[in-house]
Amino acid sequence: MNQLNLWRECWNLPILPATYYPEPGGFIIDNMAAGFLYTTGTDMAFYEQFIVNPEIKDPDRGTAINLVDDAILAYAQEQKLKVIVGKTPNGSLLQRAISNGWECGKASMTVIYKIVGE
């Protein structure tokens, strides 16, 4: 988790405790990238907390993204999931997803959350 926290800090994202990440469902490619699949007990899961080491540049960045994406998709298929939902504010990541067969629903939204425990 230390490398994730370092990357999050570099990207000006809040540090998350280890308990916020799913087990199983976390896919970390050492020193490259990470992504997490949050299953719901239904046919749908959420692909969240995707992050790339800020020191990695293309073409290695693209390779890292593909490695995480491939691992997430393989796990989803093993779990017999039907749909994976994700979101990104990153235009280049969105274009990469579309070129890899993801569909795009356009919506303007604000992420809301509520802390319900300590």
Query: Does residue 28 form part of some domain?
Result: yes
Q: Assess if residue 78 is contained within a domain.
A: yes
Separation of first and last alpha carbons in the chain: 20
Blockwise average pLDDT, block size 10, the chain, 118 residues? 90 90 89 92 90 92 89 92 86 80 78 74
Domain contains 117: no
> Domain total for the chain?
1
**pTM of the predicted model, to two decimals?**
0.81
Distance CA 66, CA 76 (A): 15
Residue 112 counted as domain residue:
no
- The three-state DSSP-derived secondary structure of 36-63 is EEEECCCCEEEEEEEEECCCCCCCHHHH
In a domain, 116, yes or no: no
- Domain extent for 87: 2-99
Do the beta carbons of residue 73 and residue 67 sit within 8 Å? no
Rounded to the nearest 5°, which phi and psi values hold at 86?
-145, 175
Residue 73 belongs to a domain: yes
CATH number at residue 11: 3.40.630.30
